[in-house]
Amino acid sequence: MPGGLERPVVRPRRLRRTSALRELVAETTLAPRQLVLPVFVREGLDEPRPITSMPGVVQHSRDSLRAAAAEAAELGLGGIMLFGVPEDKDAVGSGALDPDGILNVAIRDVVAEVGDALPAMADLCLDEFTDHGHCGVLAADGSVDNDATLEVYADMAVAQAEAGVQVVGPSGMMDGQVAVVRQALDGAGHQDVAVLAYSAKYASAFFGPFREAVDSSLQGDRRTYQQDPRNRVEGVREALLDIAEGADLVMVKPALAYLDVLREVRDAVDVPVAAYNISGELAMVEAAAANGWIDRRAAILETLTSIRRAGADVVLTYWAAEAAPWLREGF
């Protein structure tokens, strides 16, 4: 070589030369079965209603929800996570317990549509159902009452199980929520219903568009129960606590700003780990793509791959149904 420099002997580029070689040595897999589709179903709708801050995502009617579930099953997705948006709310979130409330009706609709072909999952939290928008019931001083909320979560878990749910997702970050939910399910004869614990859920600015999706009436913030974004070790501790209480899977939420926490949790636990690619993460990609600043498809696949690479066995993402056919075509 010029200047007497030696030619390189180790050439990592050899394994990047063709698409087939890159596929051969790819370290991270991304497949439809690893993706869960979160969906919103709103009471009283006759047709889907677009969510303006989440391009491509809608509040479903019951009919469009059934169609979305059937499509998800056909695509081979790993599951569908249901969020209910009721017409009426109250201080204690009573609609969450009503067998004829929108979330429990939606569970029955999905189970009737797809049976065991697609796991029906449901959010187990009160924020969609309370007129104050918090994830639990309030004490006289306006704070969220942890233990009073646990009693409601127990009843909510049983109501969802009676509707046919296969996986419940306690997401309110109440201390002891997994233990209470597990005990309630087992006591009611629903020992086969799995618990996906939202273990490390942070008080994030990236949740903003979700609040439009569920018509949130939040007053104040959730920093007294969701985790401080500055803490990493605490996220691992929360996951370990949830496993000790009986969680079958644990979750880190959000995903992208907490990939370090996700990696720490994956290394610390011996159950499957999920991560939630949340509304604000979607909105940023969609906004940049709409302005022509990034390649939308490539950015979506890179985003989902990064979450898998950081350690997630399961990724909840609003792009699940759209990404599934792309994955069959190759990265």
- List, by residue number, the catalytic residues: 201, 253
Token couple for 164:
């046919």
SS percent in the chain: helix, strand, coil, step 5: 45, 15, 35
Q: How far apart are CA 271 and CA 269, in angstroms?
A: 6
**What are the distances in angstroms from CA 66 to CA 17, 44, 120, 215, 248?**
44, 15, 12, 21, 27
Rg (CA), the chain: 21
**What are the distances in angstroms from CA 97 to CA 86, 93, 118, 161?**
12, 8, 24, 11
Q: Which of 303, 308, 306, 330 is nearest to 319 (CA)?
A: 303
Pairing state of beta strands 49-50 and 58-60?
A: antiparallel
3-state secondary structure of 224: coil
Q: Which of 51, 119, 38, 134 is nearest to 84 (CA)?
A: 38
Max CA distance (Å), the chain? 81
Q: How far apart are CA 39 and CA 50, in angstroms?
A: 12
What is the tally of helices (H) and strands (E) in the chain? Answer: 11, 10
Sorted by sequence, the CB contacts under 8 Å of residue 258 that are 6+ apart come out as 200, 202, 229, 235, 252, 275
Q: Taking a C-beta distance cutoff of 8 angstroms, is the pair 258, 202 a contact? A: yes
